[in-house]
Structure 1
Amino acid sequence: MEFSWPWALLSVLAIPLIFAIRAWALRRRRRAAVRVTSIALVRLALPRRTRWTRKIPPALLITGLALLAVGAARPQASVPVPTTSATILLALDTSGSMCSTDVDPNRITAAKKAAAQFIESQRGGPRIGLVTFAGSAGLLVPPTDDTDALVEALEGLTVSRGTAIGQAMLAAIDAIAEVDPAVAPTGADVAAPGPDYAGAAIVVLTDGANTQGVEPQIAAQEAALRRVRVFTIGFGTTKPAPMVCDNSQFDGRGFGGWGGRGGFDRGRNVRMIDEPALKRIAQTTGGSYHRAENAGQLQTALATLPGSFIVVRQRVDTAAYFAAGGAVLITAALSLSLWWNRPRSAR
């Protein structure tokens, strides 16, 4: 908890001052005591309260005054608040190994389906952009709330050679910077990172390891400087499986003429997911790593992510709550004191 006016906490010193005045008044009252000859009259004047009940009003008064003092300092709390202004960049691996059939019918088809379901589930929510990467990375769809355009773009994905994970992350940062002034583009000078994360995140879905371009950890550090979290998903199994794509799923130029009218089958995929690198990316940026070996696990991983980055923390002024609580307690203290000290004839 932080305070806008911390100097106002000095008003707490008024509490011991009030009780010092009260103690001084009690001593003066004892000196001016009136002598009476009837013990019955004394008993009649005394209130019928136990020792602990006499302490309740002062305790309520102290607590109420303390709450008012804290409220005067304008406390602010950092609370999770759902936001629809978040930006999500999906960076999808379109390398040739995404044709592996260890996930039915192949990885690229399962990934497109899971991504489409995720995008549909966020309809009316945050802006979503698409980055694809193989030997190079590029922005396929800038961040938008046009769900239909995003899903349509997914249908046209094709695979090619190479895996440029780091370059994909840099492309995603630049895409976020285009729509979020709080995020600096790559290459720009960035001040020390602030305490709160940006209202944007990158989701990297890959089935392999970086093979070219900038190192992923360097890109992760760029994202961390901008407080942009990167969530990584390692997709596919480590079991060798045939790599088969139909003619609409590969870029023949990217494979140097491989394949033909019916697509291609280039033997068995034996590449391993670089889980240590994906975990370091997530740890560096404040995101998380998820493992998905089949289409169902991939859909689950994507479905659980929004709760991590669509809910952001904002500072909320809580002075009104402290003031209201203090007023209630002070009112209760005065009411109880008046009720318990009323003349016996009025009871």
Structure 2
Amino acid sequence: MSLTWPWALAALLGVPLLLVVRWWAARRRRRTAVRVASIALIRAALPGPSRWRRRLPALLFLAGLLSLGVATARPQASMAVPTNSTSILLALDVSTSMCSTDVEPDRLTAAQAAAREFITTQDDGTRIGLVAFSGIAGLLVPPTSDHGDLLAAIDELTTARGTAIGMAILTSIDAIADVNSAVAPTGVDPAVDAAVEQPDTIVVLTDGANSQGVDPVTAAEQAAARGVRVYTIGFGTTEPAPMVCRANQVQPGAAFGGGERFRGSRLQQIDEPTLQEVAELTGGEYFRAEDAEQLTDVLTGLPASIELQRRPVEITVWFVLAAMLLTALAVALSLRWNPATALPVVTPAARRN
């Protein structure tokens, strides 16, 4: 728990001051005690309440004052954000290296299957958006709870040359800004307090390194300034393997002579240091997946990590309510258990002492 106005806790000093006043009043009351020859008669006439009945209302009243004193400092608690308040942007690498067959049947097909599994396991109210990137990045599906549109877009993914990881992050930020007014779009300086953690998340899946466009770390700084977390996934092995792009995996007229089958072989290196830095800058996490099963486990396990993210929520009203309830209970018990009593009495024996 944190406090917006910690200096307001000075109001709690009123509690010990009240105790001092009560102690002083009790001393004065003893001086004006009625002197009687025998206290037995008074006890018989006025059976006093038990000790805990005398003290409990006072303790409840003090607890109410303490709760009200804390409320003046405007306490905040870290609370989980509901899933339906979160937008998750999936940014999938569709560069030609995703045709590599080191992952069966190939990286793109495995990534599509894992993305479909991720989407179908989400709650119906979860908003998910889809960004695809190669040499450029484009928003295919804005954040939506209509998972049918997402699944259809994933099935139609095709590859092209280049890897623009930084552009994918910026495109995802703009997609989030369209549905969350607290997130400023790229090109607009975020407000001073905009770095408060947002419930929205970007998940970047890539099998290589940034080859053009904005540097991923620069893009990550933009996300961090807006309180948007970025989770990164490095996909594929480091072993050379044939790249076989089927006709339906290549953008028509955009690569390899109009969507023909393409074959090649090369070692594709994942820029893990950059992906780790991107995640650390934004409060996300980096994952490594070398096969289809690992990728599916990473993606389907992400919601647990995302839901663990928390935001500060002011809980002043709960402290005020607690103070009101405690005070009301103290008054009620005091009236029931401790009605108005006579002045304290002093026996002759006590007077002699």
User: What corresponds to 1:305 in structure 2?
Assistant: 302
Do the aligned residues in 1 keep the contact of 2:91 with 2:203 (CA within 8 Å)? yes
Q: Which consecutive residues of structure 2, in runs of 5 or more, have no partner in the other structure?
A: 342-353
SS at match of 2:221: helix
SS at match of 2:112: helix
1:163–1:31 distance in 2 versus 1, CA, 3 Å: same
Shift of 1:122: 2.7
The yes-or-no answer on 1:285 pairing with 2:282 is yes
Identity over the aligned pairs, expressed in percent? 51
Q: State the one-letter code of the partner of 2:212.
A: Q
Report matched runs for 1:195-214 at 5 Å: 195-214=195-214
Give, in whole Å, the separation in 2 of the partners of 1:35 and 1:139.
90
Give, in whole Å, the separation in 2 of the partners of 1:156 and 1:123.
23
Offset from partner CA, 1:177-205 (integer Å, 9 cap, x none):
23333222222233335352223221110
User: What corresponds to 1:228 in structure 2?
Assistant: 228
1:114–1:137 distance in 2 versus 1, CA, 3 Å: same
Q: Which consecutive residues of structure 1, in runs of 5 or more, have no partner in the other structure?
A: none
Q: State the one-letter code of the partner of 1:304.
A: G
Shift of 1:249: 1.3
Do the aligned residues in 1 keep the contact of 2:100 with 2:242 (CA within 8 Å)? yes
Do the aligned residues in 1 keep the contact of 2:90 with 2:131 (CA within 8 Å)? yes
Do the aligned residues in 2 keep the contact of 1:65 with 1:326 (CA within 8 Å)? no
Give, in whole Å, the separation in 1 of the partners of 2:40 and 2:116.
88
Give, in whole Å, the separation in 2 of the partners of 1:272 and 1:182.
37
Shift of 1:250: 2.2
Report matched runs for 1:1-347 at 5 Å: 1=1, 12-38=12-38, 58-71=58-71, 75-122=75-122, 124-251=124-251, 253-257=253-257, 260=260, 263-267=261-265, 269-309=266-306, 313=311, 315-324=313-322, 327-328=325-326, 331=329, 335=333, 339=337
Give, in whole Å, the separation in 2 of the partners of 1:97 and 1:275.
16
Offset from partner CA, 1:19-44 (integer Å, 9 cap, x none):
33322332223223344444766887
Give, in whole Å, the separation in 2 of the partners of 1:181 and 1:340.
56
Offset from partner CA, 1:156-193 (integer Å, 9 cap, x none):
11122221111111222222223333222222233335
Q: Over aligned residue pairs, what C-alpha RMSD do you find? A: 3.4
Shift of 1:278: 0.3
Shift of 1:81: 2.8
1:338–1:185 distance in 2 versus 1, CA, 3 Å: closer
| 293-302 vs 55-64, greater mean Cα deviation | 55-64
Offset from partner CA, 1:108-162 (integer Å, 9 cap, x none):
0010111112122235223222111112222222222221121111111112222
Q: State the one-letter code of the partner of 1:313.
A: R
1:324–1:245 distance in 2 versus 1, CA, 3 Å: same
Per the normalisation by structure 2, the TM-score is 0.81
Do the aligned residues in 1 keep the contact of 2:158 with 2:251 (CA within 8 Å)? yes
Count of residue pairs the alignment pairs up: 339
Offset from partner CA, 1:259-309 (integer Å, 9 cap, x none):
84xx23313x41121111001001111211111112122122112222444
SS at match of 2:227: coil
SS at match of 2:65: helix
Give, in whole Å, the separation in 1 of the partners of 2:288 and 2:43.
79
| 13-22 vs 103-112, greater mean Cα deviation | 13-22
Q: State the one-letter code of the partner of 2:333.
A: S
1:196–1:83 distance in 2 versus 1, CA, 3 Å: farther
SS at match of 2:242: strand
Do the aligned residues in 1 keep the contact of 2:93 with 2:207 (CA within 8 Å)? yes
| 235-244 vs 188-197, greater mean Cα deviation | 188-197
1:9–1:330 distance in 2 versus 1, CA, 3 Å: farther
1:227–1:259 distance in 2 versus 1, CA, 3 Å: same
Per the normalisation by structure 1, the TM-score is 0.82
SS at match of 1:19: helix
Shift of 1:68: 3.2
Do the aligned residues in 2 keep the contact of 1:70 with 1:319 (CA within 8 Å)? no
Offset from partner CA, 1:30-75 (integer Å, 9 cap, x none):
223344444766887896978x997665444322321233346654
Give, in whole Å, the separation in 1 of the partners of 2:217 and 2:5.
41
Do the aligned residues in 1 keep the contact of 2:57 with 2:329 (CA within 8 Å)? no
Do the aligned residues in 1 keep the contact of 2:102 with 2:236 (CA within 8 Å)? yes
User: What corresponds to 2:350 in structure 1?
Assistant: none
